[in-house]
Amino acid sequence: MEQESYSSYEVIVALQNAGISQEIVEYVVPILGYESRVDGTLFVNTAEDELSPSYGLAQANVSSMSPAIYMAFKELGVELPGLTDEQEEQLLTNKYIDEDLRPFTEEQTSFVINWFQNTAKLNDHAVVLKYMIQQKMMEGAETEVEAINELYPLTVSKFNDTSNQDAQAVKSKISGEVSSFYNEPDRGIPVPEEGFDPSPIQEDTTETTTTTIKKGEDLPGKAPTMPSQETQRVDTSSDYMSQVPKQAGTYEETQYMTRMRRLNPNFRKDQFLKNFDNVTRFKKKDPTQFRTRPVVEEDEIKFPFGTPVTSQEVLDLLE
């Protein structure tokens, strides 16, 4: 594998993917940058220590970190050659009773070194570091920070020495990048609800304006020509960013959030209640206040002329 180097942001994401907490990421990333520095380049994947058999981004010691390396292999699906059941049990528990089989054999050591130098990717290095911290806690470290201090005592000592300008420069640079990563503002785009269709929705982002245009000059002896109506479509999305505050989201994000609000069941409910209130705000009048009409009490029906007759006489006539 060719030598590669990573940015602080890439390392942070890899450690997060491995399940390492933000507190530990902020603490350990500057240490990893200093530990894996090669000729001034930080976070080199093929970094190798000159004094100990330590390799990779996390500078895993092949001799002392064999349980952590094997547990990482177990998660990553890497098969360690020449592994026996008893050795595997000791590597997973980091304990032995009669014979210590945790150290790698010569064949296994060559395989592990070759894996670090030619196969391991950034996320693989992050998984190895996770189990290195776990191994140190199995060996007595009470906290993850204490485990990291035991893994990298020389680098931690240099970082604590304010007179060491080289270590302080690296620490300050990487710590600033880590802080920038976590303090970068989040636009807060909502997570789509279950059943949300991610296919694009055609939205009408234009306005229609009407312009009167004369077709030509009126000729003598002819009736004047009628003006024609021409429709022009004006794209409003281009002016969006000039009309909103700088902290607002992009035009596409705003469209997306609008669709999300419309898909929210409460949105339709609120609209219904609003319209329902508008329809029912005109209450019926109190029945006791209705106007009454006069009713003819007597049996006779009076006409403006002629002889009065009774209602019974009218009914008899109709029969």
pLDDT digit string, tens, across residues 237-284? 555 555 555 555 666 666 666 666 666 555 555 555 555 555 555 555
Residue 164 pLDDT more than 50? yes
Give me the pLDDT at residue 67, please. 97
Does residue 35 sit within a domain? yes
The answer on 170 and 80 residing in a single domain is: yes
Rounded Cα–Cα distance for residues 87 and 85 (Å): 6
For CA atoms 174, 176, 179, 184, give the dihedral sign.
Answer: negative
Give me the pLDDT at residue 211, please. 53
- % of the chain residues with pLDDT over 70: 60
307 vs 206 pLDDT, higher one: 307
The answer on 107 and 169 residing in a single domain is: yes
Burial code of 12-41, b = ≥16 C-beta within 10 A, e = fewer? bbbbeebebeeebbbbbbbbbbbbbbeeee
Going by pLDDT thresholds of 50, 70 and 90, the confidence category of residue 69 is: very high
Give me the pLDDT at residue 318, please. 75
The answer on 137 and 68 residing in a single domain is: yes
The answer on 207 and 84 residing in a single domain is: no
Over range 158-184, report the average pLDDT.
Answer: 94
Q: Tell me: the pLDDT tens digits for 2-58?
A: 678 999 999 999 999 999 999 999 999 999 999 999 999 999 999 999 999 999 999
Rounded Cα–Cα distance for residues 32 and 133 (Å): 13
Does residue 98 sit within a domain? yes
The answer on 46 and 100 residing in a single domain is: yes
Which residues, other chains included, contact 148 with Cβ-Cβ below 8 Å and sequence gap of 6+?
24, 27, 28, 31, 133, 136, 156
Residue in this structure with the two tokens 């640079």, named with its chain if needed: 173
Domain that holds residue 246: 202-214+226-266
Going by pLDDT thresholds of 50, 70 and 90, the confidence category of residue 316 is: confident
Give me the pLDDT at residue 187, please. 47
The answer on 155 and 38 residing in a single domain is: yes
| CB 91 within 8 Å of CB 66 | yes
The answer on 230 and 108 residing in a single domain is: no
| DSSP calls for 260-285 | HHHHSHHHHHHHHHHHHHHHH-SPPP
The answer on 242 and 207 residing in a single domain is: yes
The answer on 178 and 206 residing in a single domain is: no
The answer on 249 and 129 residing in a single domain is: no
Domain count, the chain: 2
The answer on 46 and 88 residing in a single domain is: yes
Q: Tell me: the pLDDT tens digits for 7-17?
A: 999 999 999 99
Does residue 115 sit within a domain? yes
